[in-house]
A and B are shown apart, each in its own frame.
Chain A
Amino acid sequence: MYGYRARIGYCSPPVVTEVFVYEFYKMAPPGVTLLLTTLEVGLEYTQQAFDGSHDRSLEAARYMAGSGADVVVLGGNPVNQSRGVENLPGICADLAKETGTKVVASTLCQKEAMEKLGVKKVASAHASGAKHNERHAEQMRNMGFESVGVTSLEGHKLLGYGRIPTEAAFDIAKQLKTDYPEADCIHLASAHWPTAHAIDRIEAELGVSVMNSQQAIVWKAFRSAGITEPIEGFGRLFREF
């Protein structure tokens, strides 16, 4: 079968999913596949969408486990954090016990990635507009890291993330490092805009570590499923840990 090494289940919050799958297969070695279920986050980040997505992600996780997934990722940092970061290990453990399959959550993947990278001061970039800056800063603090600054691309609803050009990730990272020179990590938030190709370049040219949501999710899923080899091209995280 295609997924002869590992089959990774991902509960994908955006109601339409495009970029995550594309970039997953740029990173995945042969024999590693993605099982995808789309959830309910559409035009706006609302508590209703988070609640619906969380409930559906539990159903999807059960289905994926029944289909033979080796690990299931409960996607969506905002969806995860809506349950309380402190509750996530228990949610994952309970679901893993119920399904017999490993379960991880996006928030915990990102937290562990930053711990591995040894980062302390994080500057975040996202694509959902400046009104969401404080939410991103709070999410970073909830994960136990200092948020030194947040900036956003403008004019992109979640549904429009597939229209973001590929150079945007590097450009906004460069701006962040200029605005917040004390940052030792650039965090590219959300796993659904094109970022994977920019990670190595940001680390090399700006002298920081990069943690992006998609990279951290895929990294943790691979490592949990026994895909332990270093993978080149997507930053220190994949190369060194």
Chain B
Amino acid sequence: MDWGRIHGYRARIGYTVAAVTTEVYPIDWYRIVPDGVSLMMITLPLGDRSEDDVKKCYDISIEAAHTMARAGADLVLLGGLPINISKGDDTVEGLMARLEGEIGVKMSCSALAQVRAFAALGSKKVAVVHPFLPDQNPRHERTIAEFFGLEPVGVHAGGSSLVRLGTLAPECALEWGRAAMAAHPDADTVYFGCPHWTVIDAIQPLEDEFGISVMTSLQAIAWDAMRQTGVEDRVPGFGRLLKEF
């Protein structure tokens, strides 16, 4: 313990959690970030992902950015890619700029963090792995193509649900990543959507096994938050993104 410091003595990152309850996210956050980078959270009432739900969470996110700024965050990062882009793919950067002007604190969001991460990794052909039912596959393919401007080569659905995310074993991500690569060997990147399930231990093994890049929502968010706040530490063990960029 460094007496005389605050816990977030290097950077305090405000993050809106696109879930009623968060469990895995803070665990993996603190496994990735160096000492002195703390996480401030506001949870959002995202339930069944209905249009009303997403709209409500969008509005609360905006208010949360102001609250986080008052609480002293060095950066506010709005979580939940579907929420970030719910008013249109072309509105995200404008919203961040407007909010920065209003609150006087740097802004980012899950969607922009992932745009930057894909760009850093040089990704072109993306296989998506997500933990939900296959009915979410078209949404993921559309987001990869239309928002990120990359080629979706396929989607693997884990078949779980929001309330069960905390019960998924760490092996699931590795197995599902392997399944995605077996089905879509032309992928240069495996992308794990949703930062609320246990994924980070699959990143390095998949990169090593297939010679690809792996990008996960949480990894991209943590990386972007650190780099935006001047934390330039290269972090080993969780993929090229955190080690090389």
CA gap between A21 and B26 in the complex, in Å? 8
Tell me the residues in window 125-166 of chain A with beta carbons closer than 8 Å to chain B beta carbons: 159-160, 162-166
A17 touches B163 (CB 8 A): no
CA gap between A66 and B167 in the complex, in Å? 12
Residues of B within 8 A of A (CB): 1-8, 12, 14, 20-24, 26-27, 30, 38-43, 64, 67-68, 70-72, 163-164, 166-170, 198
Q: Residue A197 at the B interface, CB < 8 A? A: yes
Q: Residue A204 at the B interface, CB < 8 A? A: no
Q: Residue A52 at the B interface, CB < 8 A? A: no
B1 touches A197 (CB 8 A): yes
A1 touches B198 (CB 8 A): yes
Query: Nearest-CB distance from B233 to chain A (Å)?
Result: 18
A166 touches B26 (CB 8 A): no
- Which residue in B4, B72, B163, B170 is a CB contact (below 8 Å) of A167? B4
Residue of A nearest to B23 (CB): A35
Q: Residue A123 at the B interface, CB < 8 A? A: no
B39 touches A18 (CB 8 A): yes
B39 touches A67 (CB 8 A): no
Q: List 11 A-B contacts (CB under 8 A).
A: A1-B170, A2-B24, A19-B7, A21-B39, A34-B23, A35-B23, A35-B166, A164-B6, A165-B4, A166-B2, A170-B3
Query: Nearest-CB distance from B131 to chain A (Å)?
Result: 12
Residue of B nearest to A38 (CB): B43
Residue of B nearest to A18 (CB): B40
Closest 5 pairs between A and B when the two form their complex, measured CB to CB: A159-B71, A18-B40, A197-B1, A35-B23, A67-B163
B22 touches A18 (CB 8 A): no
